Structure 1
Amino acid sequence: MSLNVIDLIKGQLGPALVSQAASQFGESESGISKAIGGILPAVVGGLANNSDNPGVLDAITNASSSGILGNLIGGSSSSPVISTLLTSIFGDKISGIVNAIATYAGISNNSSSSLLNLVTGATVGSIGKYAADNNLDKSGISNLLGEQKGIVSSLLPAGLSLASLNLGSWFGGGSSTSHAEAAPKPEEPKIEVTRSTTAAGTNPDRNNNEGGGSIWKWLLPLLLLIAAGYFLWKQCEKKQTTTTTTTTDSTAAKTDTAATTTPADTSATTTPAAKTDENIDLNGVMLKGYKGGMEDQMITFLKSGNYKNAADDAALKDKWYDFDHVNFKMGSSTDLEAGSQGQLDNLVAILKAFPDAKIKIGGYTDKTGNEASNVKLSKARAEFIKGALAKAGVGAQVLEAEGYGSKFAKVDAKASDAERAADRKMAVRFAK
């Protein structure tokens, strides 16, 4: 299921911003909120209609570093970048949009114009941040925008349509006009036009009730047939996707990594809520961790003597241990999520308890985004952990930090973010 970018943007346009905008523009909060509700789908529609426009893609790509999300009311309304972008996507339709929103929301044209800039800034900034966090290049951004074309019309609030915003030709928007605009001419009853393609024997002089009854005799079975065909098509598509994924996984299992075979990988795909912290015995010192988790597995391996008895690095390279808790904030290689430090401290304690042990750090990403950027990000994250361990006094035991990008990712790039999270991980293995 594709991402609805409107849901992505709503967080930037919450009650606090509505209240601030109402105060600054001298409007009611209800009017501001109503206007934003009409502008947002229109702006997303404008961007979707220009998904291949280089100027639009440049503006989104540069938005994440512009700081625009931090100053929406003060920055967007006067930003030449936003003004240029609006002209690029709407052209001479801007004034019509401003007037339509002002009338719909009961606010002034000046307030409507300022809100159009503000919402555009929030939209571009939010999509730009999402693209940066998920390593989307311009092609990925273009695809994301293109996916919005099918949902924009349905998200306009009651009382607004693409036609009323002078955008009726977009995405087949002409059919989304209001009842007043869609009223048929007296000499051409709408029911007659609807049935202009019926069987040759249809009598045009029948009344509406009789015509309405006859049309359902063939229309209802046709709709049921279409629904059945669609269901069968989706089932076939699902089977094909499953077959492709299975084949890919089988190939990946032959590559040089334990990220595809280690028991820790299996636990990474289970529900975190099912795991419970327990005391893991480290030579009499109790560490908080999961039974069967990273710490438990590493301590068991070291105590077994298998590390000491390993002849060389080749005997160790296929066994990786996934971190259960160490996670980075989206798109960052220096900011850890809350709760990550505890497991790093556990790893430090294990290395200090077994000073002869050496390790290697590995970073991994999912399949979305540019692969070169994925490798760079995963490498930077692995280096960050290596540096953190060095600061804790065990740096000499960390031989290498490597980033593999999406090389060993299993989940399809089109899967949900929650499903792809299993591929975004950090791991550690013993080395010599």
Structure 2
Amino acid sequence: MASLIENVMGLLGPMAGPLSTQLGESTDTVQRGLQGGAAAMLSGLASRADEPGFLSQIFGLITNPANTGSSISALMANPSAALSGGSPLTEMSGKLISTIFGSRLTGITDALGQFSGVGASKAGTLLSMAAPLVLGGLGRFVRDNNVSASDLAASLKSEAPKLQGLMPAGLSGLFSGISPAPAAAVDRRTAATTNRWLWPVVILAAVLLAALWFFNRSRAPVSEGMQTASNAGSSAMATLGEFFKARLPDGVELNIPQFGIENRLLSFIQDSSKPVDDTTWFNFDRLRFDTGKATLEASSEEQLKNVAEILKAYPNVHVKIGGYTDNTGNEDANKALSEARAKSVMDSLAGKGIDPSRMEAEGYGDQHPVGDNTTEEGRAKNRRIALRVTQK
């Protein structure tokens, strides 16, 4: 059974190409904007899923007779209809956006523009185009699984953590400011008053834990600095989207996920408007290493084989492979491990037929973090292997 996120994200990839023509942006940029907009809407829904009045409005939009599989198919076949207001879903989509974001819409749009690399006007368009796809994906999820409003609320809340890696930076603060239902607020105040006596115990426990951490941190294994280079591990798998068949110029057919490194790398190589630069990196999302070692696990083979086939199909492309860690543990040891893992990936690609002269590898340790090292989620994002095109 496809998850709620998979139902929504699965609709975005096919729309990116046609919409990129309409907006004059690359497919990768449009796909990133649609993905960020959809993740923001789903996160906004999840943050208010316990509000009965709010959820009933949203569920009414989702189950509206106009929100059918055929109407979504028609929209995807002719995105200009939605851009011009000619789609039956346009009015519903506008109501969805205003109901979720309200006065926060400007902040959401600005964050989405920075996230996707477009201006505020185009970011607003991307958000408007993502809205009917969110409605369509949620409608399909509700119909296929025969879920109620309360079931939908439970699914939104359970899957919300998986959206963080897809979200434009800074949006969590906007969502945290959304007021909860009055009854929930009363419950929290009551609980806080009733359990006030617990605070001294909690503080004492925190002090003891901090002391234990301080005295034992020197014994932490190097592997904590870079565990699996899997970009947040198994939770990232749910955000890769549906797998599809991609045919390369040499006739090789790959089975790849819509939002995985393979599809993003292909889009970049094929897009002549995207120049090679020093900042465009693509994170591997299905690599696994033995703990504390540079030995690749067997589960990494599929993605490495896919990337090797892409490089074979585009023989002029050269790449650089970078290894990264979080800032936990010994800095020198982490840098050495990150470099060993980057070279291990390069060696694996060479073993699959890619000329080593087309590749280079470097370990950066805890340099260039992409997440907040003060949180586990941020540290997991920082433990990664990435690839950059240096010639195409």
TM-score (norm: length of structure 2): 0.41
TM-score (norm: length of structure 1): 0.37
Larger Rg: 1
